[in-house]
Amino acid sequence: MSSRPLRLAYAGFALLGAAVLGAYVYDRTRARPALAPRAVAVAAVTVKPPTIPIRRPDFALKDLEGRSRPISDWDGRALVINFWATWCAPCRREIPLLNRIAHDYAAQGVTVVGVAVDFADDVAAFNKDFPIRYPLLIGEEDGLDTARAFGVQTMAFPFTAFTDSQGRMLTLHMGELHAAEAQAILSVVARVDAGALTPLEARAEIQAALAALPPESAPHPGKG
- Whether the model clears a pTM of 0.75, i.e. scores above it, the answer is yes
pLDDT at site 51: 83
pLDDT at site 101: 98
* 152 found inside a domain: yes
* 153 found inside a domain: yes
* 41 found inside a domain: no
Domain residue limits at 84: 49-217
Q: Is the pLDDT of residue 171 over 50?
A: yes
Domain tally for the chain? 1
* 213 found inside a domain: yes
CATH of the domain at 90: 3.40.30.10
Q: Is the pLDDT of residue 5 over 70?
A: no
**d(Cα 109, Cα 194) in Å, to the nearest integer?**
12
Residue with more model confidence, 122 or 46: 122
Residue with more model confidence, 180 or 22: 180
**d(Cα 97, Cα 179) in Å, to the nearest integer?**
7
pLDDT at site 224: 32
As a whole number, mean pLDDT of residues 73-78 equals: 98
* 123 found inside a domain: yes
pLDDT at site 47: 55
Q: How confident is the model at residue 223 (pLDDT cuts 50, 70, 90)?
A: very low
Q: Is the pLDDT of residue 32 over 90?
A: no
pLDDT digits (tens, 9 = 90+) for 14-31: 333 333 333 333 333 333
HEC-encoded secondary structure of the chain: CCCCCCEEEECCCCCCCCCCCCCEEEECCCCEEEECCCCCCHHHCCCCCCCCCCECCCCEEEECCCCEEEHHHHCCCEEEEEEECCCCHHHHHHHHHHHHHHHHCHHHCEEEEEEEECCHHHHHHHHHHCCCCCCEEEECHHHHHHHHHCCCCCCCCCEEEEECCCCEEEEEEECCCCHHHHHHHHHHHHHHHCCCCCHHHHHHHHHHHHHCCCHHHCCCCCCC
Conformational region of residue 96, where left means phi above 0, alpha means psi within -120 to 50, and beta covers everything else: alpha
* 31 found inside a domain: no
Q: Is the pLDDT of residue 214 over 70?
A: yes
* 78 found inside a domain: yes
**d(Cα 117, Cα 6) in Å, to the nearest integer?**
13
> What's the CA angle centered on 144, arms 126 and 82, to 5 degrees?
55
**d(Cα 93, Cα 103) in Å, to the nearest integer?**
17
* 3 found inside a domain: no
Q: What is the mean pLDDT of the chain?
A: 81
Task: Centre a 10 Å sphere on the Cβ of residue 218 and count the other Cβ atoms it contains.
Answer: 17
**d(Cα 33, Cα 184) in Å, to the nearest integer?**
34
Q: How confident is the model at residue 155 (pLDDT cuts 50, 70, 90)?
A: confident
Residue with more model confidence, 160 or 47: 160
As a whole number, mean pLDDT of residues 197-223 equals: 80
